[in-house]
């Protein structure tokens, strides 16, 4: 709507995860196409990477190969996968409660979306270019090129982030959540307060990511380190090793075989 | 729970001729007239003065005419040897070597030596043993003595404690559980030598794994199912540790106190994800450092220091060199906690008032 009325195009950005943040900064610089800004952007990226590299390498060594499941909203289920990948972790399952097909599959599916009752929940508003304030930053050629390259006015959806053999589940209910955790046993489950203690009582670490739970922030370069620190402390908390009492695995009676 | 409790002790030089500081003194013979009734037993321990002079307690006690049904025992507690834990441990052994007798008929009980712990700890150990269906005699047992209730009537001899008969009968025990190597092993060893009662040395049941060990030692004797009450309490503790891990994880702690207590607390803080940066005990002996290093290795923590025969001055210096987030120990730690502005959790002995 901003674009139609004022001529301001949009870029899908993500500041969760090191790689996500780098790509977002670069795509912003690319849009403005100003050599000084581009140079400054690269300098910031190099500076910040330098600050966090040692910590990220350390946490990656602890978290590599661990698995996660995410059930959150507002792009988090997608964006946190980027951050988990930075740490060598994989996402077994991700889903949203309220997302639409384009959030999952990308904007290319919009023409094929059939209207249903749900589509009418939000009033459709049509806007016209504002005669005084409509303004294009880019020339038509540059704009078209960026759109064609899917750098502008485009979101590819979550599915492109996910590995084969993982699950993308819409509107997961509590029963499904519990069953999923039971069967696939991820090392960590990201969700909200409703699910957190269901997961934790069943022995699976859970962190809220609707809020920052106990810590944060997790965005940007240094936020990635906060995130890595938080989940590594959760996963490596020794108390997990004591959930099952040792006598549960040991017969009460001991003795020798005899009587021959 | 801080205890302000009353315990009577008498002080005397042993024989008249050794009196250095006083012109007159009571000998044990005089003492006994004043003290025998209604006690069944007098336990004598020595001072460095009588040790230096070389009083022979065994022969002095033999020379005393002890009334029928009364007992006198002793142990040597020179203050320049070991620490109060050494003296405590020796006294427990003396009770056994003087009194315990093997009648030849087992009594179906476990002897529990609870270590240098407070009456609240002893109540907890007894509660667990009872819940497990284990019959036991605890020696020593200061519960219901050193934590006796306010009733409006003073009792010189409160209800609790281990009776002389029970100590004699320890010789017929099936098994001894010695909780805490430093404080309890020598008692268990003495009972084994004198009455052939086998023993197991366990850590003090502080923390999850150590308490599990105590429970499983009781179970290997009782062969009973572990009651839900114990599983519930255990599960609640594990739940708390998970719920608070974000506050405890990687926090550095300094712990000081008696060796068995410090080792128990160290394992417990490790279970909480904390790092026991400094462990200090005043009691000498290599076993402490070795056990501490074993713990550090088990949990993979580095840069931690443990010292036996150490003191709070040295601990304070270490903390000044590299700080900690928390201090755990007896009441005297308050000076370090105040000077360095670090939180202080009181545990162990002495457990005094906050002032």
Domains of chain B by range and CATH? Answer: 16-81 (3.40.50.1980), 110-230 (3.40.50.1980), 244-346 (3.40.50.1980)
Map out the domains of chain A as residue ranges. 2-239
Topology given in CATH for the domain delimited by A2-239: Rossmann fold (3.40.50)
What pLDDT score was predicted for residue A228?
97
Q: pTM of whole model > 0.90?
A: no
Give chain A's end-to-end CA distance (angstroms, integer).
Answer: 89
For the sheet containing A205-208, what is the strand order? A167-168, A90-95, A67-71, A188-191, A205-208
Kindly state the tokens that stand for B171. Answer: 């010789």
Inter-residue contact A81 to A70 (CB < 8 Å): yes
Nearest Cβ partner for B216 among A214, A234, A247: A247
Q: Is the pLDDT of residue B17 over 60?
A: no
Q: State how far the Cα of A162 lies from the Cα of A167, in Å rounded to an integer.
A: 8
Inter-residue contact A57 to A50 (CB < 8 Å): no
Which of A226, A231, A238, A254 is the best mutation test for B, with the most CBs of B within 10 A?
A: A238
Mean pLDDT of A212-237: 94
Q: How far is A55 from chain B (nearest CA, A)?
A: 15
Q: How far is A50 from chain B (nearest CA, A)?
A: 25
Among the ranges given (A78-92, A222-236, B70-84, B190-204), the one the predictor scored with the smallest mean pLDDT: B70-84
Give the model confidence (pLDDT) of A58-98 as tens digits. 999 999 999 999 999 889 999 999 999 999 999 999 999 98
Which of B224, B233, B238, B274 is the best mutation test for A, with the most CBs of A within 10 A?
A: B238
Inter-residue contact B229 to B132 (CB < 8 Å): no
Give the model confidence (pLDDT) of B157-189 as tens digits. 888 999 999 999 999 999 999 999 999 999 999
Inter-residue contact A32 to A146 (CB < 8 Å): no
Half-sphere exposure in the Cβ direction for A100 (13 Å, CA): 17
Contacts of B189 (CB under 8 A, 6+ apart): B93, B199
Nearest Cα residue in chain B from A247? B216
Closest among B353, B354, B327, B350 to B340, alpha carbons compared: B327
What pLDDT score was predicted for residue B170?
97
Give the model confidence (pLDDT) of A154-196 as tens digits. 999 999 999 999 999 999 999 999 999 999 999 999 999 888 9
Among the ranges given (A9-23, A117-131, A137-151, A198-212), the one the predictor scored with the smallest mean pLDDT: A117-131
Q: Is the pLDDT of residue B267 over 70?
A: yes
- For CA atoms A205, A211, A215, A217, give the dihedral sign: positive
What pLDDT score was predicted for residue A254?
67
Q: How far is A237 from chain B (nearest CA, A)?
A: 6
B219 near A CB under 8 A: yes
Q: What angle do CA A96, A188, A24 make, to 5 degrees?
A: 55
Task: Transcribe B58-73 into DSSP letters.
Answer: HHHHHHS-PPTT-EEE
Half-sphere exposure in the Cβ direction for B185 (13 Å, CA): 10
Nearest Cβ partner for B231 among A230, A238, A245: A245
Strand (E) or helix (H) holding A229: helix A220-235
Give the model confidence (pLDDT) of B126-135 as tens digits. 999 999 999 9
Nearest Cα residue in chain A from B223? A252
Q: Is the pLDDT of residue A204 over 50?
A: yes
Nearest Cβ partner for A237 among B215, B225, B242: B242
What pLDDT score was predicted for residue B61?
80
Task: Output phi, psi for B74, to 5 deg.
Answer: -145, 160
Length in residues, chain A: 260
CA B298, chain centre distance (Å): 25
Strand (E) or helix (H) holding A5: helix A2-6
Nearest Cα residue in chain B from A248? B226
Strand (E) or helix (H) holding B88: helix B84-99
Q: State how far the Cα of A210 lies from the Cα of A216, in Å rounded to an integer.
A: 11
Q: State how far the Cα of A253 lies from the Cα of A4, in Å rounded to an integer.
A: 78
CA B202, chain centre distance (Å): 13
Q: State how far the Cα of A168 lies from the Cα of A189, in Å rounded to an integer.
A: 14
Contacts of B303 (CB under 8 A, 6+ apart): B277
């Amino acid at each position: 709507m901003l674009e139609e009325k004022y001529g301001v195009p949009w870029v899908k950005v993500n500041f969760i995860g090191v790689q996500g943040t780098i790509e977002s900064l670069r795509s912003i610089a690319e849009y403005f196409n100003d050599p000084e800004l581009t140079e400054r952007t690269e300098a910031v990226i190099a500076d910040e990477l330098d600050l966090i590299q040692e910590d990220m390498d350390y946490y990656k060594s602890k978290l590599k190969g661990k698995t996660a499941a995410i059930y959150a909203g507002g792009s988090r289920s997608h964006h946190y996968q980027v951050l988990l990948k930075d740490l060598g972790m994989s996402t077994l399952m991700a889903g949203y409660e309220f997302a639409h097909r384009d959030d999952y599959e990308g904007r290319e599916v919009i023409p094929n979306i059939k209207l249903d009752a749900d589509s009418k929940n939000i009033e459709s508003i049509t806007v016209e270019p504002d005669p005084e304030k409509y303004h294009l930053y880019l020339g038509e050629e540059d704009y078209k090129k960026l759109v064609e390259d899917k750098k502008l006015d485009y979101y590819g959806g979550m599915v492109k982030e996910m590995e084969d053999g993982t699950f993308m589940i819409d509107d997961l209910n509590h029963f499904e959540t519990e069953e999923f955790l039971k069967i696939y046993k991820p090392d960590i489950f990201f969700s909200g307060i409703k699910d957190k203690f269901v997961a934790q009582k069943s022995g699976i670490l859970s962190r809220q990511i609707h809020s920052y739970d106990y810590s944060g922030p997790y965005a940007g370069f240094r936020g990635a380190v906060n995130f890595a620190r938080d989940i590594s402390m959760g996963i490596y908390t020794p108390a997990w090793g004591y959930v099952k009492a040792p006598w549960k695995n040991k017969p009460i009676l001991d003795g020798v075989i005899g009587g021959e | 729970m801080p205890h302000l409790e009353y315990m009577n002790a008498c002080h005397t030089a042993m024989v008249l001729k050794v009196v250095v500081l006083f012109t007159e003194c009571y000998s044990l013979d005089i003492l006994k007239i004043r003290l025998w009734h209604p006690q069944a037993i007098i336990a004598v321990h020595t001072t460095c003065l009588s040790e230096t002079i070389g009083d022979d307690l065994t022969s002095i006690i033999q020379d005393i005419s002890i009334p029928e049904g009364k007992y006198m025992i002793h142990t040597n507690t020179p203050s320049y040897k070991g620490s109060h834990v050494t003296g405590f441990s020796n006294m427990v052994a003396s009770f056994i070597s003087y009194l315990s007798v093997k009648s030849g008929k087992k009594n179906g009980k476990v002897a529990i030596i609870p270590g240098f712990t407070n009456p609240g700890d002893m109540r907890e150990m007894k509660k667990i043993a009872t819940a497990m269906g284990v019959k036991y005699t605890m020696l020593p047992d200061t519960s219901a003595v050193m934590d006796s209730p306010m009733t409006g009537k003073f009792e010189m001899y409160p209800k609790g404690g281990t009776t002389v008969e029970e100590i004699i009968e320890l010789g017929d025990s099936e098994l001894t559980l010695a909780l805490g190597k430093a404080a309890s092993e020598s008692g268990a060893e003495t009972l084994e030598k004198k009455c052939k009662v086998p023993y197991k040395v366990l850590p003090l049941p502080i923390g999850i794994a150590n308490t599990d060990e105590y429970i499983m030692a009781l179970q290997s004797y009782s062969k009973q199912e572990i009651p839900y009450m114990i599983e519930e309490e255990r599960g609640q503790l594990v739940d708390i540790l998970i719920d608070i891990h974000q506050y405890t994880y990687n926090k550095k702690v300094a712990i000081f106190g008696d060796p068995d207590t410090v080792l128990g607390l160290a394992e417990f803080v490790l279970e909480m994800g904390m790092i026991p940066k400094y462990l200090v005990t005043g009691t000498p002996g290599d076993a402490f450092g070795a056990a501490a290093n074993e713990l550090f290795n088990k949990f993979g923590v580095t840069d931690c220091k443990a010292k036996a025969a150490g003191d709070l001055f040295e601990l304070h210096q270490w903390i000044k060199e590299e700080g900690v987030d928390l201090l755990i120990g007896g009441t005297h730690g308050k000076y370090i906690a105040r000077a360095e502005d670090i939180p202080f959790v009181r545990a162990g002995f002495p457990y005094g008032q906050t002032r």
